[in-house]
Amino acid sequence: MVYQYIILFPNGETFNNKFLPVLDGLTHASLKMGITGYEVDPKTILGHANEEIEEYVTAGQYKHFIKRLHDNSINPKNDVVVILMADLNPYFLPDKYEKISSTFKAAVKVNELKDRIDKRKPKIYFGTYQGNF
């Protein structure tokens, strides 16, 4: 199976203005409360949020989100997975997604170059992973 993963940041514009609005009210509220909860370790907090995204975000909501991005380089034919991270550091990559760490690093480098070239686009880090999570 081919997955397209998109890295988002909880304080980022793309997460707050493009991803959250496509979710149903309960999932939206749950994610916002979970991120601002009582836990202090960002990896743990976002680990719980990533579990909720995986469990509750539907394929239709992902398609709507991708349309809102206006980015032709993201292929909606692949299964899309949004991963919340505190920082672009492999340490913050949830344990479940350890298998993508090498492709993650390569994707970050490519997208950082794209960001330098076109400053008008929102920062979206993504890559493709073939296999099972």
The whole-model pTM stands at 0.72
Q: How confident is the model at residue 20 (pLDDT cuts 50, 70, 90)?
A: very high
pLDDT of residue 117: 45
pLDDT of residue 73: 65
Structure-model confidence comparison of residues 105 and 96, the more confident one: 96
pLDDT of residue 12: 82
pLDDT of residue 130: 55
What are phi and psi for residue 24, nearest 5 degrees?
Answer: -70, 160
Q: Give residue-wise pLDDT tens across range 107-133.
A: 655 555 454 444 555 555 555 555 555
Q: Is the pLDDT of residue 15 over 70?
A: yes
Q: Give residue-wise pLDDT tens across range 35-74.
A: 666 667 888 888 888 889 989 999 899 889 888 887 666 6
Spell out the domain ranges in the chain. 2-130
